[in-house]
Structure 1
Amino acid sequence: MKELQVNKQLPVISTNFEEVKASLIETVNKYKGIVVTEEGLKDCKATQKELAGLRNKIDDYRKAVKKDVSEPINVFEKQCKELISLVADAEQPIKEGIEVFDNKRREEKRQKALEFISESVQAHNLSEKYAKRLTVLDKYLTLSGSLKSIKDDIEQRTLMLLQEQDRELGVLQVIQGTIKGANETIKTPLKLQDFQNLIDMNYPVAKIIEEINKRAAMIREAERPKPVEPLKEEIKEPEPTKEQVSIPVDIKTKEAAKPKEEPLFFYEIRVVANFENMKKLTELLKGDGFDYTVKDKGRTQK
């Protein structure tokens, strides 16, 4: 391929910067110290608008000059991107072909790593629980890694898992022994599964043993027979003796004396009195022994 030759000519921009700067400083100094007041608000707005116009004019001029100077650079970038596209079109099929073979090599490494894992699990008698944690790591699939480094890493991970497994077996033996001892004192036996959640959460052995003893104590308390209370004899109180009273024959046959009836009398009278005396008469008639009816009442004329 022929090399791309570029003749670079750096853009040179000449301006009367110092002259314009001095003139601008002189111009803006006239506006310094202006205080905005209610009376001069209209003039201040006009002044601000004038300064904004001057600022925008300078910025627009900057953008226009930059665009003109950047035009050769933009053309050059466009040409380079076109050349890159030509190379990429030729590169892509090759890149895809390489990817196929690289993926094949990665899969071969994956299968080899699985073989190493299986061999290590069998060699160290790892249980299924811990064998599941031996997975194929992403770093095993790098094309630059060697099979020996993969095997060594798997072996190291296996030994670490083996230590955890041995610790768990020791814990299980202690727990099973505690459960066995507790079951000798109760009828409803405890099981290892009853405490499996605590084991899986890596609870301290002392805490698990404490929980076993606590549950066993509850079962013992529930299974303990309650003492039978002796039946209390019902003490019957003696019935009171009924005394028989003899009644003379003459009293039994004698009838109760009937009250003697008295004759009743009535008077029809007209009473004239003041209010107080009439009130006293009414209270008297309301007493026992009187039955009266008011047939007429009113006020008399003097």
Structure 2
Amino acid sequence: MKDLEVIKELPIIKTNFKDVKVSLKETIAKYRGIVVTEEGLQDCKATQKELAGLRNKIDDFRKTVKKDMEVPIREFEGQCKELMGLISDAEQPIKEGITIFDNKRREEKRNKALELIQESIQAYQLNEKYSSNLTVLDKYLNLSASAKSVKEDIAQRAASLAKEQQDELKLKEIEKSTILATIESANVNIKSKLKFEDFDRYINMNYPLDKIVKEINIRAEAISKAENPPEPPKEEIKPIDKVNEQKVIHTHSKLVQKQAKEIETLYFYELRVVANGENMLKLKELVQSEGFKYETLNKGIFKK
């Protein structure tokens, strides 16, 4: 390919800058020292507008000249982009092909890493919990990563996970021993014995040991209360002396009589009795005897 050659001619702008500067200073000299007052406010506004017009005129002229001077620069940029486009058209298929092969190599590296991970899991006897943490890292897929460095890194991570797993198993054994001892102690005073299986799930749920021990004691106490309910208190029978006994009997007798009277059925008759004086006295004695109640509604001499 032939190299791109550029013959640069830096833009040269010649102006009558000095003459304009001198003239401008003379022009704005008359504006210096103007004090804005209420009486001369309108004149000051007109003066400010005139100065702004001069400033804008110079700025517009600057922009126009700059735009004209940038024309060859824009043409040069367009030419360079056109050449770059030709290169990109030829480069793109090659880049795509390289990407395909690189991805294939990365996939091969991934499969190799998975194979090494599986070997380490078996070698260090990692359980499901810890083996799931031994994953393929992005750095294993780098095209520059060597198989040796990947293997060493996986082995190092597996060893670290194996230690964590072993520490956890030891801790669980300690917890199990404590729980068994607590259950054995609690079972001494109860018939329905507690079993380790009743609390094994708490270990799997990572419950704190003190809470598991507390739960064992609570259950044992509940079983003990159920197996040994408290006896009802016995009522104390006090001896009754003869005087009080007679009072009780007498009171009871009166109560029975009162109840008998309360439930006795009473009858009434409304009669008109006609008799002589002697028989009336006999009737009066009868109704005034015990067991009768009467009320005189009317009385007088019977007329035939």
Do both proteins adopt the same fold according to a TM-score greater than 0.5, normalized to the shorter chain?
yes
1:122 and 2:130 correspond = no
* 1:43 corresponding residue in structure 2: 43
Say if 1:124 and 1:241 are closer, same or farther in 2 by CA, change over 3 A: closer
- Read off the aligned partner of 2:88 and give its amino acid letter: A
* 2:109 corresponding residue in structure 1: 109
> C-alpha offsets along residues 96-122 of structure 1, whole Å, 9 cap, x if unaligned?
111111111111111111111011111
1:15 and 2:15 correspond = yes
Contact 1:175-1:209 at 8 Å conserved across structures: yes
Contact 1:113-1:151 at 8 Å conserved across structures: yes
Of 232, 248, 263, 2:234 maps to 232
- Counterpart CA distance in 2 for 1:91 and 1:141 is 25
Moved more, 226-235 or 99-108: 226-235
Q: CA deviation at 1:37?
A: 5.1
* 2:212 corresponding residue in structure 1: 212
- Read off the aligned partner of 1:17 and give its amino acid letter: F
Query: 1:73-112 counterparts in 2 under 5 A?
Result: 73-112=73-112
Q: CA RMSD in A?
A: 3.3
Q: CA deviation at 1:23?
A: 4.3
* 2:200 corresponding residue in structure 1: 192
Contact 1:178-1:212 at 8 Å conserved across structures: no
**TM-score between both structures, scaled by the size of structure 1:** 0.70
- Counterpart CA distance in 1 for 2:38 and 2:194 is 96
Q: Which runs of 5+ in 2 are unaligned?
A: 188-192, 239-244, 258-285, 297-304
Q: Which runs of 5+ in 1 are unaligned?
A: 200-207, 259-302
More helix by share: 2
* 1:279 corresponding residue in structure 2: none
1:122 alignment partner, SS class:
helix
Q: CA deviation at 1:160?
A: 1.3
Moved more, 92-101 or 249-258: 249-258
Q: CA deviation at 1:152?
A: 1.0
- Between Structure 1 and Structure 2, how many residues are aligned? 249
- Read off the aligned partner of 1:69 and give its amino acid letter: M
- Read off the aligned partner of 2:61 and give its amino acid letter: Y
- Counterpart CA distance in 2 for 1:254 and 1:91 is 139
Q: CA deviation at 1:254?
A: 10
Identity %: 55
- Counterpart CA distance in 2 for 1:253 and 1:166 is 104
- Counterpart CA distance in 1 for 2:203 and 2:55 is 80
* 1:135 corresponding residue in structure 2: 135
* 1:53 corresponding residue in structure 2: 53
- Counterpart CA distance in 1 for 2:175 and 2:29 is 92
Say if 1:160 and 1:41 are closer, same or farther in 2 by CA, change over 3 A: farther
Say if 1:38 and 1:161 are closer, same or farther in 2 by CA, change over 3 A: farther
* 2:156 corresponding residue in structure 1: 156
1:166 and 2:174 correspond = no
- Counterpart CA distance in 2 for 1:253 and 1:12 is 155
- Counterpart CA distance in 2 for 1:141 and 1:29 is 75
Q: CA deviation at 1:191?
A: 2.2
Contact 2:199-2:212 at 8 Å conserved across structures: no
Q: CA deviation at 1:179?
A: 2.2
- Counterpart CA distance in 2 for 1:2 and 1:257 is 155
- Counterpart CA distance in 2 for 1:55 and 1:146 is 68
Contact 1:134-1:158 at 8 Å conserved across structures: yes
- Counterpart CA distance in 1 for 2:8 and 2:292 is 162
Q: CA deviation at 1:25?
A: 4.8
- Read off the aligned partner of 2:110 and give its amino acid letter: R
Say if 1:149 and 1:230 are closer, same or farther in 2 by CA, change over 3 A: same
* 1:296 corresponding residue in structure 2: none
Q: CA deviation at 1:4?
A: 1.1
Q: CA deviation at 1:136?
A: 0.9
- Counterpart CA distance in 2 for 1:76 and 1:253 is 147
- Read off the aligned partner of 1:193 and give its amino acid letter: R
> C-alpha offsets along residues 170-215 of structure 1, whole Å, 9 cap, x if unaligned?
111112222222332254544232243436xxxxxxxx22222222
**TM-score between both structures, scaled by the size of structure 2:** 0.70
Q: CA deviation at 1:127?
A: 1.0
Contact 2:172-2:203 at 8 Å conserved across structures: no
